[in-house]
């Protein structure tokens, strides 16, 4: 039961992150998943990476100087950053 709850919580967190990324990229949330990156979505470009990094810097108090901007090139990388900084979404 506990494992199910953790899995469900993780899904909800990912869904919230997908929604934020979709909004920042100006695309449907249906286009966003764990594998979304600069390699497979045209809207996910260098400006989008900066917008995403800035959003998390302002909203969640994660300072960009402490982050590897390269990790913002994918949703998977973004989730790792949030996890590393113990950000609950």
Q: Which residue ranges form the domains of the chain, and what is each CATH number?
A: 2-84 (1.10.1200.10)
- Please give the average per-residue pLDDT across 82-88, as a whole number: 80
pTM: 0.82
Q: Give per-residue pLDDT as tens, 25-52.
A: 999 999 999 999 999 999 999 999 999 9
pLDDT of 52 reads 93
pLDDT band of residue 64 (cuts 50, 70, 90) is low
Encode burial over 15-44: b for 16+ CB neighbours within 10 A, e otherwise.
eebbebbbebbebeeeebeeebeeeebeeb
Which residue, chain included where needed, has tokens 């950000």? 87
pLDDT of 48 reads 96
The more confidently predicted of residues 4 and 48 is 48
Mean pLDDT of the chain, nearest integer: 85
């Amino acid at each position: 039961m506990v494992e199910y709850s953790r899995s469900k919580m993780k899904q909800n967190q990912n869904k919230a992150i997908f929604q934020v990324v979709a909004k920042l990229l100006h695309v449907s949330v249906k286009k966003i998943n764990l594998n979304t990156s600069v390699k497979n979505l045209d809207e996910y470009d260098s400006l989008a990476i900066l917008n995403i990094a800035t959003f998390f810097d302002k909203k969640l108090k994660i300072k960009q100087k402490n982050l590897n901007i390269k990790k913002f090139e994918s949703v998977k990388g973004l989730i790792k950053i949030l996890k590393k900084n113990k950000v609950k979404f």
